[in-house]
Structure 1
Amino acid sequence: MSNIHNGSALDGRVFWPSIAVILGITIPLVVFPESGNLIIKQLFGFATGNFGWLYLLSGLGAVLFLLWLALGRYGNVRLGRAEDVPEFSYFSWIAMIFCGGIGIAIANWAWVEPIYYFDGPPLGIAAKSKEAAEWALAYGQFHWGLTPWAFYCLPAIPIAYSMYVRRQPGVRLSVAARGVLGDKADGWLGTLLDTVVVFGIVGGVGTSLGLAVPLVSTLASDVFGLQPSFGFDMLILGLWTAMFGASVWFGLSKGIKILSDINVYLAVLLLLFVLAIGPTLFIVNGWSNSVGLMVNNFIHMSLWTDPIAKGSFPQDWTVFYWAWWIAYAPMMGLFVARISRGRTIRELVFAELVWGSLGCWVFFAVWGGYALDLQLSGVLDVSAILNQQGIPATVLAILKTMPMADVIIAGFVLLCFVFLATTLDSAAYVLASVTSNKLSGYEEPRRWIRITWALLLAIVGIGLIKVGGLKAVQTSTIIVALPLIPVLVILAWSLLRMLKQDFGTRLSSPVLIVDGPALPAQGMPAPDLITQPFGATPNPAAPLGSRP
């Protein structure tokens, strides 16, 4: 493992404008919640109603671009120099990618989202029909599969390339866009881009807290025989803050990696338990059938806008989700880039599109299949509970149908704690990196900056829970996704320009690495090109320019 040390001081050019934007949005929502919510709702309706097609095209375009990149001539390019080897084991790397990108959201939605589709199916299908049940499972796989992970992966590659191949200082989107923006990346345009990214991260993570606290509060109250209250919510939030604050304090190797590993083990145990005690054959058959439906109709589902019947399903679900994933994409791109030194472009694309999608599909197949079977068999009217009492009460009711329900609920609460903590520590780490001055990919942000962002995230969560402004900030974050679409295009364009400049047409099957201490200026010769057999481990002792 390469030496990692604490990085440079706080960069006020990004930190203070980011704080100003966050306060400028949240304070009016607190003081004038009704009018603020109305304006945000109108903006969201405008964005999704008029540009829904753009969100959908962006999703399909991201998937196709990444597949072309991974399977084509640039797939063997290593995100690092000849001496750079992967910093983490493959398992821990995948665990951090998955846990950082999904967090507690899947613990909410995997149980209930198929029920929503069953009650209000797409494609003109009759509600609560057999066909609706089939598509309910398929759409869950679709909304949490290839396209979301493509949005996450797309910015990660140019960021990692600028950090580890070009070795440009600054763990930021503006730095990765330098291939297109040039020197403007150091000016007001780059600061604006990074400020928008910080706001999107804070809003997205604040929303996750707002979703998570009621769920865990409901479950934990049942375990301890207490009544949910604001004070109990604050106790839970305090425990969460302590957990992810400690994780981000210890950094990547001693904190975030360990927490992500624990998260995966807990999740696998609970998934295996539900698969064993539940309708195993129904779950397996449902998964096989839903994946087949999704693959067979992927293009249609990706571009369906329902222009004739003018139903709201595409806007309410697919466009909403795509906008949500795009809003989270900068955070995931920065975090995944930071932990992917020494991996090839192909490895990174497959890690996110294959392992990320597969992980989500397992959750929806097992937990979603279990809940749908309860509904179809008449054991539990999941739909009625969901419509009358909401998600937390529905998840609790589903868990109570299992053997050893008290033990399972307690284990699920623990999983929720760890799940969200892995997202929050990743977010605090990324926010600290973005607001640090010229941080390199070989440095960690200073601890006090990490802890500052951990506390700020907790404070935002408290405010949103207290005033009920969660929905408005969530929607604000999704509106931010609209201008982020051209940002993703700029990042992809920047990556291609850097790849062409560094490698040109000198490409073949070995792993491709650039070497040399200097960075190529515009119009200057590219660094020396080094090839290695695929899978070979570089020899750090070999002199520069002579490694095999």
Structure 2
Amino acid sequence: MNKKLSQRIDWMITLLPFLLILALCLTFFTAPEASGAALNAIRSFLGEEFGWYYLLIGLGIFLLTLYLAFSRFGPIRLGGDRPQYSFFQWGSMMFTAGLAADILFYSLCEWMTYATDVHVRSLGDPQDWAGSFSLFHWGPVPWGFYLALSVAFAFMIHVRKRNKQKYSEACRALLKQHTDGIPGRLIDLIAVFALIAGTATTFAVSAPLLSGAISAIFSVKDSTALTIAILLFICVVYTVCAYFGIHGISIMAASCTWLFFALLLYVLFLGGMPRYILETGLSSIGNVAQNFISLCTYTDPLRKTGFAQNTTIFYWAYWMVWCVATPFFIGSISRGRTIREVILGGYAAGLLGTWVSFIVLGNYGLGLQMFGKIDLLGMYAESGNLYETILTILRTLPGYRFVLILLVLAMIAFYATSFDSIAVVASAYSYREMSSDEEPDRRLKLFWSILLILLPIALLFSESSMANLQTVSIIAAFPIGFIMILILASFFRDASDYLKEQEQEGNAKEH
């Protein structure tokens, strides 16, 4: 890096969180049992004693997005005269950047975890509830996290044209001069720490499925070496795309979207159960709509099953950690749209992609179980291996090798697009100051692209360490929740001032 670039980089915010993550990894390797016990104790404490906190933030922010869309703030245009991207380009980048390949893994198997859960079974037939909980946990509340912060960041970047693209800068209307002091630095350190921890563990969920699918396609042995080779290939793909900036990400996002829907259409029409899949999906949507408030506020106060702590609270916390990067990216590509368009369009694009995935892929597997074609729940109960059970589901489809190829390509594209956007956001975060229309230096994007893949590769050698780091991500969501509230409160103050300024300018012109 040349001297000019090195002087623009905020080295403490860039390197200190990464060094902390490495220190934690070293601790996990040298004292796995003690560190794991300590982290699980903290995570259990937060879930047991402060589960209501995560649930209130989830419901509150969702309701806040609806207020934003239909209030006096809704017509505020986030810079420019017209949208920078078409709705398809914008929606596909937002959808693919916010979910990674986890969406495909969970769509295929999550219904099984609900169908065997004691709490879900107590509510009624798994046919009615297994799919409903998937739509709830990947529905309006988590997308509300993304969209509320996206509006705040887009307003900061495109309307106020702030020269710092960081969490702390979004709090300036409240923190004032303290934004540049210790409170602001602490906010940014927590944010980058959560970003690295969250992205380092996202491969933990889906990488084994990707590796198993490639193993089945090419009849090669599934191994750690194969998984590492896959991760390195993905790194090359998303590094190239990130290197070419938003244009490269846009192309990858569009490719990912087409591959994704090609896979869904193949399963829907060639799987032999289109009527069942669609009708079960429609029933699940109705079930979520009818029970939405009770689902959002269920805490299991007597701790009969621990369902709320192990599922809803877990999901909300994990989405909150991802809010460090994804809303910045959505905000950056939303120039020219109004707040109302970002929120309503965001829900439309996000829920369309997410819910269609769970309805088609999840209900196909559920249908195999309900019609007695194959005992997937028995297989899962016996082996405890979700990845092998998923491959069994896919083998029931005609031309299953082609299906596996589609799955692999879609997963790689999802990973590449997600990490493209994260690398761009992290690179922008590393600058002390950066204008709203400036892209990060390509060398810095290359640095972050490589950095984001190193921890997942290192952690492949220790499953306990991966689980521990995922727990760190969940714990990191606790302070992130307070910061999110601070950002939104700051946005409301800043947006109110902006509307007053616009009104005064209008009155001045009339006179």
Shorter chain as denominator, the TM-score bin is over 0.9
The equivalent position to 1:258 in structure 2, one of 251, 254, 259, is 251
Instruction: After TM superposition, list the pairs within 5 Å mapping 1:41-190 onto structure 2.
Output: 41-80=40-79, 83-122=80-119, 125=122, 131-190=125-184
Does the 8 Å CA contact 1:219/1:392 hold for their aligned counterparts? no
Structure 2 letter corresponding to 1:460: L
Residue 389 (structure 1) shift = 4.4
State the Cα deviation string for residues 265-286 of structure 1 (Å, max 9, x = none). Answer: 0111111111102311111110
Paired position in structure 1 for 2:401: 406
State the Cα deviation string for residues 353-379 of structure 1 (Å, max 9, x = none). Answer: 232122111011100100101111121
Number of equivalent positions: 502
Does the 8 Å CA contact 1:59/1:147 hold for their aligned counterparts? yes
Paired position in structure 2 for 1:491: 487
Paired position in structure 1 for 2:421: 426
Residue 84 (structure 1) shift = 4.7
The equivalent position to 1:396 in structure 2, one of 387, 391, 399, is 391
Does the 8 Å CA contact 1:75/1:346 hold for their aligned counterparts? yes
Paired position in structure 2 for 1:227: 221
Q: Say whether residues 1:370 and 2:393 are aligned partners.
A: no
Separation in 2 of the partners of 1:58 and 1:381? 39
Root-mean-square deviation over aligned CA pairs: 1.9
Does the 8 Å CA contact 1:8/1:446 hold for their aligned counterparts? no
Does the 8 Å CA contact 2:118/2:305 hold for their aligned counterparts? no
Instruction: Provide TM-score, normalisation by structure 2.
Output: 0.94
Instruction: Provide TM-score, normalisation by structure 1.
Output: 0.88
Residue 334 (structure 1) shift = 1.1
Compared with structure 1, are the counterparts of its residues 274 and 124 closer, same or farther at alpha carbon in structure 2 (3 Å cutoff)? closer
Residue 309 (structure 1) shift = 5.7
Paired position in structure 2 for 1:479: 475
Does the 8 Å CA contact 2:92/2:349 hold for their aligned counterparts? no
Does the 8 Å CA contact 1:167/1:441 hold for their aligned counterparts? yes
More helix by share: 2
Separation in 1 of the partners of 2:251 and 2:155? 26
Q: Say whether residues 1:347 and 2:344 are aligned partners.
A: no
Separation in 1 of the partners of 2:206 and 2:121? 33
Structure 1 letter corresponding to 2:470: Q
Does the 8 Å CA contact 1:13/1:191 hold for their aligned counterparts? no
Does the 8 Å CA contact 1:212/1:420 hold for their aligned counterparts? no
Structure 1 letter corresponding to 2:250: K
State the Cα deviation string for residues 98-150 of structure 1 (Å, max 9, x = none). Answer: 00111111111001111111111536617xx6x22211111111000000000
Separation in 2 of the partners of 1:328 and 1:309? 28
Compared with structure 1, are the counterparts of its residues 184 and 277 closer, same or farther at alpha carbon in structure 2 (3 Å cutoff)? same
Separation in 2 of the partners of 1:36 and 1:332? 30
Does the 8 Å CA contact 1:28/1:36 hold for their aligned counterparts? yes
Does the 8 Å CA contact 1:108/1:391 hold for their aligned counterparts? no
Q: Say whether residues 1:22 and 2:21 are aligned partners.
A: yes
Paired position in structure 2 for 1:269: 262
Identity between Structure 1 and Structure 2 (%): 31
Structure 2 residue matching 1:78: 3-state secondary structure: coil
State the Cα deviation string for residues 453-506 of structure 1 (Å, max 9, x = none). Answer: 1111111111111122111111101111111111111111101101111113x8
Separation in 2 of the partners of 1:223 and 1:124? 36
The equivalent position to 1:361 in structure 2, one of 352, 355, 362, is 355
Structure 2 residue matching 1:74: 3-state secondary structure: coil
Paired position in structure 2 for 1:438: 433
Q: Say whether residues 1:450 and 2:445 are aligned partners.
A: yes
321-330 vs 349-358, greater mean Cα deviation: 349-358
Paired position in structure 1 for 2:232: 238
Structure 2 letter corresponding to 1:450: K
The equivalent position to 1:304 in structure 2, one of 298, 313, 316, is 298
Residue 172 (structure 1) shift = 0.8
State the Cα deviation string for residues 292-343 of structure 1 (Å, max 9, x = none). Answer: 1100000000001122463211111101001111111121111111111111
Residue 248 (structure 1) shift = 0.7
Structure 1 letter corresponding to 2:469: V
Does the 8 Å CA contact 1:7/1:440 hold for their aligned counterparts? no
305-314 vs 169-178, greater mean Cα deviation: 305-314
Instruction: After TM superposition, list the pairs within 5 Å mapping 1:174-213 onto structure 2.
Output: 174-213=168-207
Does the 8 Å CA contact 2:145/2:319 hold for their aligned counterparts? yes
Structure 2 residue matching 1:372: 3-state secondary structure: helix
Does the 8 Å CA contact 1:7/1:444 hold for their aligned counterparts? no
Separation in 2 of the partners of 1:144 and 1:288? 16
Does the 8 Å CA contact 2:120/2:129 hold for their aligned counterparts? no
State the Cα deviation string for residues 384-436 of structure 1 (Å, max 9, x = none). Answer: 33331422212211110000011111111111111111111111111111112
Separation in 1 of the partners of 2:120 and 2:395? 33
Separation in 2 of the partners of 1:385 and 1:465? 26
Separation in 1 of the partners of 2:51 and 2:64? 20
Separation in 2 of the partners of 1:528 and 1:103? 44
Does the 8 Å CA contact 1:7/1:446 hold for their aligned counterparts? no
